[in-house]
Amino acid sequence: MSQDVKTVPGAAPTATPVELPEDLHGVRLHFVGIKGTGMAALVEILSDRGAVITGSDVAERFYTDEILEKRGIQAKPFSTDNIDGGIRCVIYSSAYSPDKNPDLAEAARRGIPMMLYSEALGEVSARSYGCGICGVHGKTTTTGLTGTILKELDLPSQVLAGSVIASFGDRCTMTSSSFAPGTRNIFAAETCEYQRHFMAFHPRKIILTAVESDHQDYYPTYGDILKAFVEYACLLPEGGELIYCADDRGASEATALASRKRPDITLVPYGTSVAKGGGPGAATNAAPGCYRLSFGRVEGGRQYFSIGGLGEFALQVPGRHNARNATAAVALCCRLLAEYGKNPADYIEEIKRGLLNFRGGKRRSEIIARTKTPLGQELIVIDDYGHHPTAIATTLAGYREFYRGHKIIVDFMSHTYTRTAALLEEFASSFSSADSVIINRIYGSAREDASASPVTGEILAERASAHHKAVAYRGEFAEAAEEVYRQISAPSGADYPDGYLFVTMGAGDNWKTGMILLEKLAHVTAATAQPANGKEIQ
């Protein structure tokens, strides 16, 4: 249940309890900002539960339009006409407010209950066996891996990720569902720390991947964001399970602090740092060291790794960080199997198949095209959402190991002036696994005053030059594409016999650089790709 504000003409705002009904069949819900990534995913979840959904948003087309249209939903322009007395509840993105948006203003005038996206997500979790997947890095991928494994298991579940996950079923869905009415359904969801949105969730189990300083506009210090994750962990009920990455200092620190406050929480560590005997705080009833990760070989387009007590697994996506994410997903699924009275050892082959089926998500190491350079060498174009120094460094290191024979060019667009200024040196030193670095202008937030910022894209490029021998500032995408074209027009060299890997990286819209490059190469090869255009999860 959430607390929201309802207003009527001439009356002062009052806090009124808002909750979604238990049975959603035929219940009309209206979404304001329906094209947002998180909002569109929630539409899928509630639609599968029987709700009748309408929504409004801006006219610009996003990839989420296709997701909505598959459900027979056409986003309408914002208007008071969208709201009528038959609507049971209005769900809205945090990007909009009742005092400015006409849909919300009309809902308030009529006394129709309203709730934020994060609150609605919390309502769904409260009526399910809620599993929250959180962390500064890796939560989308870990959620995608969890959902892909659950597709192979005989457990009633719905999974909501912050991006399109190809292995969920098709190229335009962010959810996986085997929802069974009248049963205790699992609801596993990516839960976001920004503005403490995840505090509306009702978790029974939590995966915590990483804690670092981020979202400096809301969490000015590391201590601020650490406190939020600790408080989220403390939402777990007695005996609830906190599955945390023992390799991540911040996740381990948050876990230790949460455990002091709540010694009744069961701790489930995973990663290479887990001791063979399970380590301090190993989960009750867990097989010794069963979530201890050991990295293996990269071979034939797969990376192999072992999880102690469970055997060897393989992924078709690059990066040791993804092997950690996969280990977290395996741990959660094993714990869920046990929770539902099943022996995880009986499902190892299904778990292995699920991991191997995973292909990543939109803007998460997404292969946009495989084509040829002007000299006929292979060119792989990848788009990735990495926008924090740690994510950049680990993702590029994964590409270096996975694509050993390719020369790596990265085009990076930093997201928000506050994050760039706070982590300038960390950003500057995060590109060591790339052979060539191109820096774009900064992608600012509407919440920021760019003119008052002490940092620019040029300054980031200058600082990166102190750590890397091949850095160029190309503020605009057309300039960046020209620079990439110039570089790939030369032989990749004896050290890189397989050709080039070009990566657009960041939470902005520099994926357009890859599109411009592919258009320029079109006269050489018939390269086609879909732009990875979307909104950040609200």
Please report which helix (H) or strand (E) contains residue 261, including its range: helix 249-261
In the prediction, which pLDDT does 277 show? 46
**pLDDT higher than 60, residue 400:** yes
Query: In the predicted model, what is the mean pLDDT of residues 406-427?
Result: 95
Percent of the chain with pLDDT over 70: 91
Q: Select from 279, 335, 281 the least CA-distant residue to 310.
A: 335
Check whether 324 has a pLDDT greater than 60: yes
Tokens 């055997």 found at: 311
Q: Is 102 helix (H, G, I), strand (E, B) or coil?
A: helix
Encoded tokens for 18: 């808002």
Share of the chain above pLDDT 90, in %: 72
The average pLDDT across 347-371 equals 90
Can you give 199-241 as a three-state secondary structure string? HHCCCCEEEECCCCCCCCCCCCCHHHHHHHHHHHHCCCCCCCE
CA distance 514 to 517: 5
Amino acid identity, position 17: P
State residue 525's pLDDT score. Answer: 52
Average of per-residue pLDDT values in the chain: 88
Q: With a cut of 50, say whether residue 278 has pLDDT above it.
A: no
Q: What pLDDT is attached to residue 480?
A: 97
The residue-averaged pLDDT of 190-209 equals 95
Q: Give the whole-angstrom CA distance, residue 516 versus residue 423.
A: 29
pLDDT in tens, 438-493: 999 999 877 777 777 899 999 999 999 999 999 999 999 999 999 999 999 999 99
Average pLDDT, integer, range 7-33: 67
**Angle of CA points 406, 297, 162, to nearest 5°:** 75
Round to whole Å and give the CA distance between 484 and 111.
55
Backbone φ and ψ for 456, nearest 5 degrees, come out as -135, 175
pLDDT band with cut points at 50, 70 and 90 for residue 172: low
Q: For residue 61, what are the contacts with CB-CB under 8 A and spacing of at least 6? A: none
Give the whole-angstrom CA distance, residue 475 versus residue 478.
Answer: 9
Residues written for the chain: 538
SS3 178: coil
Which tokens belong to 302? 């797969």
Query: In this structure, what token pair is assigned to residue 513?
Result: 């650089």
C-alpha to C-alpha distance for 366 and 503, rounded to whole angstroms: 10
The single-letter code of the amino acid at 156 is P
pLDDT of residue 171: 58
Region for 24 from its dihedrals, namely left if φ exceeds 0, alpha if ψ lies in -120 to 50, beta otherwise: alpha
Helix then strand count (H, E) for the chain reads 15, 22
How confident is the model over 315-343, as a mean pLDDT?
94
Rounded to whole angstroms, the Cα distance separating 24 from 532 reads 32
Q: How far apart are alpha carbons 513 and 481 in whole angstroms?
A: 5
Amino acid at 476: E
Number of other residues whose CB lies within 10 A of the CB of residue 451: 6
368-385 per-position pLDDT tens digit: 999 999 999 999 999 998
Q: What's the whole-number mean pLDDT along residues 121-128?
A: 94
Confidence of residue 3 (pLDDT cuts 50, 70, 90): very low
Categorize the per-residue pLDDT at 538 as very low, low, confident or very high, splitting at 50, 70 and 90. very low
Residue 442 is predicted with a pLDDT of 95
- 25: tokens are 């069949």
For residues 101-129, average pLDDT: 94
**Helix residue ranges, H only, 262-373:** 320-339, 348-357
* pLDDT on residue 526: 47
Confidence band for 170, pLDDT divided at 50, 70 and 90: low
For residue 523, what pLDDT band results from cuts at 50, 70 and 90? low
Tokens (6 digits) for 333: 């699924």
- Here the contacts of 491-494 (C-beta below 8 Å, separation 24 or greater) are 491/375, 491/377, 492/373, 492/377, 492/406, 492/407, 493/407
Closest alpha carbon to 490 in 382, 372, 374:
374
Name which of 23-37, 98-112, 169-183, 276-290 the model is least confident about: 276-290
Mean pLDDT of 271-294: 63
pLDDT value at position 131? Answer: 98
The Cα–Cα gap between 230 and 225 comes to 9
pTM: 0.81
